[in-house]
Amino acid sequence: MKKLLTSFLILAASICLSNLNANAQDDAKLKKLQDKVDAAQLKVDLADAKVYSADSLIQAGQVMIDEASAELKSLSAEQKEIEKAYFNERKPLDKQMRSNDKEAVNEAKTEVKKLEAQYKLDTKAWNDKYKVAVKKYSTGEKMVEKGKTALKKAKTTKKEAEKALKDAEKALEKGA
């Protein structure tokens, strides 16, 4: 009887140990599958961040383009004002230069030189503003293009990451 009881206890202990070993293997397998799911989810989150970043770049570029367009319209009107003022101030001086009075002609020439110098300064200042606005516009266009390229790549990456996540989740469900 003692022999039978000892045999029975040994059998019971070995069954318990084999069950524990099997449970440990299952737990390790499930842990590994869960780690794969977590890694896939991290990749999806990173891809989402890249999509968001690309969208932000596109929006910032579009804002720059809109601002530069408004500045260019304003500069166009400013250029017309500068030219109109120059020609309106020059017109009476041209009449005065056709006068028979040499003193009036010399005075008109002096005034024309001052007027032309001021016109050149105004035109130079306008050109500087124009260059800045054009550069802002082109920078905005570059940002939009860069954003579109990045968005395309990020969407592809996101799609792949989402597929990998689905596959990992399916594997986890099968393993559970």
C-alpha angle with apex 161: 157 to 165, nearest 5 degrees? 170
User: Could you give the angle at which helices 102-175 and 2-97 cross, rounded to 10 degrees?
Assistant: 170
Mean pLDDT score, 72-101: 92
Percent of the chain topping pLDDT 70: 84
Tell me the C-alpha to C-alpha distance, in Å, between residue 38 and each of 46, 80, 158. Answer: 12, 63, 15
The sign of the torsion formed by the CA atoms of 77, 78, 79, 85 equals positive
Say if residue 109's pLDDT is above 50. yes
What is the reported pLDDT for 22? 44
Between 78 and 171, name the one with better pLDDT.
78
What is the reported pLDDT for 51? 92
Domain ranges of the chain: 34-168
Mean pLDDT score, 95-112: 88
> Cβ(54)–Cβ(154) under 8 Å?
yes
The radius of gyration computed from the CA coordinates of the chain, to the nearest angstrom, equals 40
Task: Given CATH 1.10.287.620, say whether it is the number of domain 34-168.
Answer: yes
Q: Global pTM?
A: 0.68
pLDDT in tens, 3-19: 544 554 454 444 544 44
